[in-house]
Structure 1
Amino acid sequence: RQVIRKALTSTEIPVYQLSKPKPKPVIDFVKPIILEWLRQDEQAPPKQRHTAKRIYQRLVDEHGFTGGESTVRRYVRELRVSPPKAFVPLDFPPGRFAQFDWGEVTVHLQGKQVKVQVFCMRCTYSRKIFIKTFAHQKQEALLQGHVDAFEFFGAVPQVITYDNLTTAVKKVLEGKNREEQERFIQLRAHYLFESYFCDPGKGHQKGQVENLVQFAQRQFFTPVPSVSSLEELNQILPL
């Protein structure tokens, strides 16, 4: 019961973590030496830099290293291999992905020129779009927009891509990890979809919906519409 209760309240996939790293006494002793040699290599000509084999030979000859060559090779490889970069998929399976973004347009509302917010969501496989205007970008607008979009699509995408908007993200953590807003977590838990947040300042990672925002501004709000209410305005939109 404790395991089930923890799973129901957690939004993270459980991962086994060691309470402390396993000791590697043989290689740990020479790690600082290897690091210093590799730092020195940065100033040396490319053809005169240490190979893992040469590092092993020097460790044996100069420091009495008793470990195996494979141990040294493994550690050097860990230092030299760059971590894999996160990427946004360009091949989209049916029903798998959607992208979301806010846009802003000017309209004549009851004779006054005002700015309104445009909720935009696009399914990346079918390219089906949902657009709706709101008076603001507050959390209730974000949540209501999702509910209306899912009803319009007749389905819920498995993964939705977002900017790091504060109505969904409480705190940006290391890498792709995010501390999400509680009500946004509840929305995801109810509709059973995953969130994918772009890297900060990398809005191009959701290019389809960014193009949709520009398309909507030109297609549905040019010329500037004159309406008596947002309900009337939404009647001309694909929702």
Structure 2
Amino acid sequence: MPAVSRVELYAAIRRDARGGMSMRKIARMHGVGYHTVKDALGSAWPQKRKVYAHRGTKLEPFKQAIDTMLRADLDAPRKQRHTVTRLYRRLIDEHGMSDVSYALVQRYVKHRRPEIATAMGRMPAKVFIPQTHRPGEEAEVDFGDIAIRLRGELVTCYLFCYRMSFSGKAVHRASLSAGQEAFFEGHLHALRVLGGVPTGHVRYDNLKSAVAQILGFTRARVEAERWTAFRSHLDLTAWYCQPGIEGAHEKGGVEGQIGWFRRNRLVPIPEVNSITELNALIDEWDAADDQRRIGTRAHSIGQAFALEKPLLKPLPAESFETGRWFTPRVDRYAQITVRTNRYSVPVRMIGRQVRVLLHASDLVVYDGRVEVARHERLLAKGGSRLDLDHYLEGLLRKPGALPGATALEQARAAGRFTPVHDAWWSAARKAHGDQSGTRALIEVLLLHRHLAHEQLVAGLAAALKAGALTADAVALEARKIGDTQPSTAAPLTGYATTDAISSLTARRLTHLPPDNRALPSVAAYDLLLKHPRFQEGS
């Protein structure tokens, strides 16, 4: 039952008194004293409660001395001002203070120091000034940490947010890194979605992707060279906030947006198989966000953005490479090292120098202009990501190295090397011996380059059931399954999609270029029949 205010209590007492009820009965019914009933009958409006004088604490005699010390600190060097501990010791030694706790002095100094500074004109009180943002002029950028379940594992990745200040329209992008590559990719994605660049400035904190050095207590910054080139490419003007918590208030819109996005879009924690899948979800959420209204605004986010979109500056026609290039050398383990992590490449590349393009969530390895490997970027430092396919040519020469290969364990963990593979391998080793059986499995694994994964696994299962323990038999079974039940999986890079083919020879011929030559003719030989020499012989 809600509490009754004193005004309502007085009204009830006066109503009961007018009904002829005695004061004693009224007091008993409402649970109040006689004087309260008397006051209510005397006035419909309760009198103000009596204010008692503040009872001083044991610190009262020493407050003047504390204030004097705090005023003196205003003119002292910053590193030689009173701490609470030093001030407490002086009160004991110089002013005879006793029986006063340190916590009592600390609480008084905490609220009194800024009051004295403000009264002396040294430190103005914190004031937040309402701001009005013009359409198409300003935006804010920030990164935030988010948790997701990536292939069943709980990991922490990073959310880039670009928010227009006028409309509140925000574009988000998730990545496995918060480095400069993710910073650039987030900008390009956001500006493509928005369709232009703000005509004014974009607010940033002092993240390392953009700022190399903060110059004193000013807003001047030494920028990272690639960031300066990227800004120039987009014709984007940067405005840097103050360091620390004060700077967070200067871009409060994007700070609040990231918190709102976490609470409303990432609860419960999303489960995805890749960052690409997560970003597809984020794009859908951003599009749906256009229907939302912020606070008490009269227009939705989409309606407000429609006003400022025509005012944005156009995007440049030329492209900008957001990734970072590296040129590592492939070691004897067919691995390259990029940012303390190791990634595999085909064994034929051992000893050669390759070109690596590092993106926010993946990296691509090139031999000249030809792509030879692609990996999802590792989250932690000192890790390795190995592709079993890269080692197959080497394992054909060293089949005994396969059972303990790290690449094999990673393929098992990723689900690419299935229990069907293990069962077929065990049967092949039992039938042909360890070396020959393992070599047969490696030949089967090479078929993954030409056949879809699901199709080959089904072929392995069929061959195992029939007791066919050779790579050719697996290929034949997989081809039969592919002809009757075409796989919906995407074709492998470098191989053309084909219709149902009835023989292995025809399947191989589909990878040859078309023969556009004319069909052969024997017309020239028919002319020889009219020669006199041939006529004499007849």
TM-score by length of 2: 0.28
SS of 2:231's partner is helix
After TM superposition, the structure 1 = structure 2 runs for residues 20-31 of structure 1, keeping only pairs within 5 Å, are none
Distance 1:206 1:182, change over 3 A: same
Bigger helix share: 2
Between 1 and 2, higher relative CO (CA 8 Å, sep ≥ 6) is seen in 1
Q: Does 1:213 align with 2:283?
A: no
Picking from 257, 267, 270, the partner of 1:222 is 267
SS of 2:193's partner is helix
In structure 2, distance between residues paired with 1:195 and 1:88: 22
**CA RMSD, Structure 1 to Structure 2 (Å):** 2.3
Distance 1:102 1:88, change over 3 A: farther
Q: Does 1:147 align with 2:188?
A: yes
Q: Runs of 5+ in structure 1 lacking a partner?
A: 1-41, 44-79
**What do the CA deviations read for 1:51-77 (whole angstroms, capped 9, x no partner)?**
xxxxxxxxxxxxxxxxxxxxxxxxxxx
In structure 1, distance between residues paired with 2:144 and 2:264: 13
Letter in 1 for 2:202: I
In structure 2, distance between residues paired with 1:89 and 1:168: 28
SS of 2:147's partner is strand
Letter in 2 for 1:153: L
Distance 1:163 1:89, change over 3 A: farther
Picking from 150, 153, 169, the partner of 1:112 is 153
Q: Does 1:180 align with 2:207?
A: no
**What do the CA deviations read for 1:168-215 (whole angstroms, capped 9, x no partner)?**
000001301000001111111011111111101121110000011101
What residue is the counterpart of 1:232 in the other structure? Answer: 277
After TM superposition, the structure 1 = structure 2 runs for residues 23-62 of structure 1, keeping only pairs within 5 Å, are none
Q: Does 1:167 align with 2:209?
A: yes
**What do the CA deviations read for 1:204-233 (whole angstroms, capped 9, x no partner)?**
110000011101101111100000001111
Q: Does 1:91 align with 2:126?
A: no
Give the drift of 1:89.
Answer: 7.8
In structure 1, distance between residues paired with 2:241 and 2:135: 21
The percent identity for this pair of structures is 34
Give the drift of 1:121.
Answer: 1.0
In structure 2, distance between residues paired with 1:144 and 1:88: 33
Aligned structure 1 segments of 4 or more residues deviating by more than 2 angstroms: none
Distance 1:134 1:88, change over 3 A: farther
What residue is the counterpart of 2:461 in the other structure? Answer: none
In structure 2, distance between residues paired with 1:89 and 1:166: 30
In structure 2, distance between residues paired with 1:88 and 1:187: 32
Give the drift of 1:88.
Answer: 8.6
Bigger strand share: 1
Q: Please tell me whether the aligned partners of residues 108 and 227 of structure 1 are also in contact (alpha carbons under 8 angstroms).
A: yes
Q: Runs of 5+ in structure 2 lacking a partner?
A: 1-73, 76-120, 288-538
Q: Please tell me whether the aligned partners of residues 119 and 131 of structure 1 are also in contact (alpha carbons under 8 angstroms).
A: yes
Q: Please tell me whether the aligned partners of residues 132 and 145 of structure 1 are also in contact (alpha carbons under 8 angstroms).
A: yes
Q: Please tell me whether the aligned partners of residues 176 and 199 of structure 1 are also in contact (alpha carbons under 8 angstroms).
A: yes
In structure 1, distance between residues paired with 2:207 and 2:232: 19
**What do the CA deviations read for 1:131-170 (whole angstroms, capped 9, x no partner)?**
1101010101101110111001001113110110011000
From the CA coordinates, give the structure whose radius of gyration is larger. Answer: 2
Letter in 2 for 1:189: S
SS of 2:155's partner is strand
**What do the CA deviations read for 1:25-53 (whole angstroms, capped 9, x no partner)?**
xxxxxxxxxxxxxxxxx99xxxxxxxxxx
What residue is the counterpart of 1:199 in the other structure? Answer: 242
SS of 1:219's partner is helix
In structure 2, distance between residues paired with 1:156 and 1:140: 19
Distance 1:100 1:187, change over 3 A: same
Q: Does 1:121 align with 2:162?
A: yes
Letter in 1 for 2:264: Q
Give the drift of 1:106.
Answer: 0.7
Give the drift of 1:90.
Answer: 1.5
In structure 2, distance between residues paired with 1:120 and 1:223: 20
**What do the CA deviations read for 1:67-112 (whole angstroms, capped 9, x no partner)?**
xxxxxxxxxxxxx9x9xxxx99821111110001101111100111
Letter in 1 for 2:220: N
